[in-house]
Structure 1
Amino acid sequence: MMPLISVVIPVRNEAQSLPILLDDLTALRAAGAELIVVDGGSSDSTCERVLGRVDRLLRTAPGRALQMNAGALAAQGEYLWFVHADTRVSAESVKRLQEALRERPLWGRFDVRLSGTGLPLWVIGWMISLRSRLTGIASGDQGIFVERGRFEALGGYAQIPLMEDLQLCRRLKAQARPCCLRPPLTTSSRRWEQHGIWRTVFLMWRLRAAYYCGASPERLARQYRRGSML
């Protein structure tokens, strides 16, 4: 039988985080979901640590859009669920997704919280979720799910180095508002903690604003790399 859900997980050097996510998804796989990991050239033990725990392990050149499209192409499920390797998925979130898909939404996403402690990180997660509910646009950290036929009809993710998630959501939103789910997924706060909480927030706001004003994703990717190294 065709699985209802194919979970597509793009990875690169996620030997520590990925097995934890796969633990979270064990029950979903036992219920018939398909798990696909797409490695973008890991130099650690990522691939070795998933053997026997997923249905497909694919290898591509690095690039999140490229990896997710490769996973989607190999998927058999009615719905594609794109989940980042550093995400934690609760049993309640899995149950809510299964319930929501019975209503046959075109696409959707989850609210999100950050893994770290402290009020600033809680506020950032709350703001990301609120912004997404108001705008109908989601980031990749929010576990975007989409009906596979519609994803294919849209040509999948654009092959761009940054903002591929926003670009897909804009095209999907033109056809339907997203199905917004709780409870939230938990995404790693390492980016904010490593580079500074508010500096990372301002960098992402600036890049997002520039994208909406027409800046090229290639230029924004260079700015993101420079900003992350400061």
Structure 2
Amino acid sequence: MISIIIPVLNESKTIVSVLNHLTNCALEKNIEAITIVDGGSSDNTRELVRQFARSSPFTIQLITSEKGRAKQMNAGAKIAEGSILYFLHADSFPPKNFDTLIISEVEKGNPAGCFKMKFNSNHWWLRLASWFTQFSWRICRGGDQSQFITKSLFDEIGGYDETFVIYEDNILINELYDRNKFVVIQSWLDTSARLYTEKGVWYVQYHFLVIYLKKWLGADADALYNYYVKHLKKTSKPQTQIATTPEVISEK
């Protein structure tokens, strides 16, 4: 079975749409639980999750962890009981029957991978960037494409590297590529282009390229984070919170 893990922070605009999409596109028998890992939202994200769960046939869990996607996703993985973990951003929508597609790949001997991805934008550059995600090249990978991985392999690797506040997806992906344990499922996942819309396509693309090059040249986690905050997201560094016991708000 698949354990879906979604890290959130103030995602009230998208969380219900994502949950609706997941429950409409997967078979109940294939999903162990959908776990929402909140990093300290100040909006009504948590309440929206609770409201959705009351009428959902799927098991919905809500937990709180330290802020930061790596820490949040590791917290979700820690309580997951499915043999396959599926990490999904709160503004990404996997294809119909994503569950059977993932299970099929694992049964073929592919323990990790993602879907090809397209942005919800008609900008020519984003459409071109989306087209390239169908290829297996490492440079075409990113967290927005989602990540499935068997729990055994995830535990063997040690999970997400929590020293990275950003770029955590690529650190895990690099580890999987080094092990030759990655496949791109040839079905489209849709994701939001909201950061590109907010700050401009060329501005965001340039700074993401700089971050990629900085990491390639040996920059550490703090250097990448400081650059990201300065140019793309002017927020304070995540503060420590105490993780809570899972709140199971809907059971099969």
TM-score computed with the length of structure 1 as normaliser: 0.91
Higher relative contact order (CA 8 A, sep 6+): 2
8 Å contact kept, 1:138–1:144: no
User: Which whole-Å CA distance do the structure 1 matches of 2:195 and 2:139 have between them?
Assistant: 24
Provide structure 1 residue ranges, at least 5 long, that are not aligned to the other structure.
none
CA distance in 1, matches of 2:111, 2:101: 16
The alignment yields a C-alpha RMSD, in angstroms, of 1.9
Instruction: Tell me, in whole angstroms, the C-alpha distance in 2 between the residues paired with 1:58 and 1:207.
Output: 31
Deviations 1:59-112 (A, max 9, x none): 012110000000000100111010000011231544422332332422111111
Q: Indicate the residue corresponding to 2:19 in structure 1.
A: 22
2:239 alignment partner in structure 1 = none
Moved more, 99-108 or 180-189: 99-108
How many angstroms apart in 2 are the aligned matches of 1:152 and 1:173?
16
**Which is worse superposed, 153-162 or 78-87?**
153-162
> 2:106 touches 2:112 (CA, 8 Å); kept in 1?
no
Specify whether residues 101 and 18 from structure 1 end up closer, same or farther in structure 2 by C-alpha distance, changes over 3 A only: same
| Counterpart position of 2:156 | 153
Shift of 1:31: 2.8
**Aligned partner letter, 2:117:** V
Q: Separation in 1 of the partners of 2:183 and 2:233?
A: 36
| CA deviation after TM superposition for structure 1 residue 46, in Å | 0.6
Task: Answer with 86-95 or 104-113: which moved more.
Answer: 86-95
- Is 1:32 the counterpart of 2:30? The answer is yes
Partner of 1:106: 111
Instruction: Report percent identity of matched pairs.
Output: 28
How much does 1:165 deviate? 1.0
- The separation in 1 between residues aligned to 2:150 and 2:211, in whole angstroms, is 29
Residue from 175, 197, 202 that aligns with 1:193:
197
Q: What is the Cα deviation at residue 137 of structure 1?
A: 6.8
| Superimposed CA distance per residue, residues 123-162 of structure 1 (whole angstroms, 9 cap, x where no aligned partner) | 12223x15x6122773111111111011111110001211
SS in 1 for 2:136: helix
Task: Indicate conservation of the 8 Å contact 1:140/1:165, yes or no.
Answer: yes
Evaluate the alpha carbon distance shift between residue 12 and residue 55 of structure 1 in structure 2; reply closer, same or farther with a 3 A threshold.
Answer: same
Q: State the one-letter code of the partner of 1:25.
A: L
Q: Please, what TM-score do these two structures have when normalized by structure 2?
A: 0.83
AA in 2 matched with 1:69: N
Residue 207 (structure 2) aligns with: 203
Aligned partners of 1:152 and 1:43: how far apart in 2?
31
The count of residues paired between Structure 1 and Structure 2 equals 225
Q: How does 1:118-129 map to 2 (within 5 A)?
A: 118-127=123-132, 129=133
Secondary structure of 1:38's match?
Answer: strand
| Residue identity in the other structure for 1:84 | H
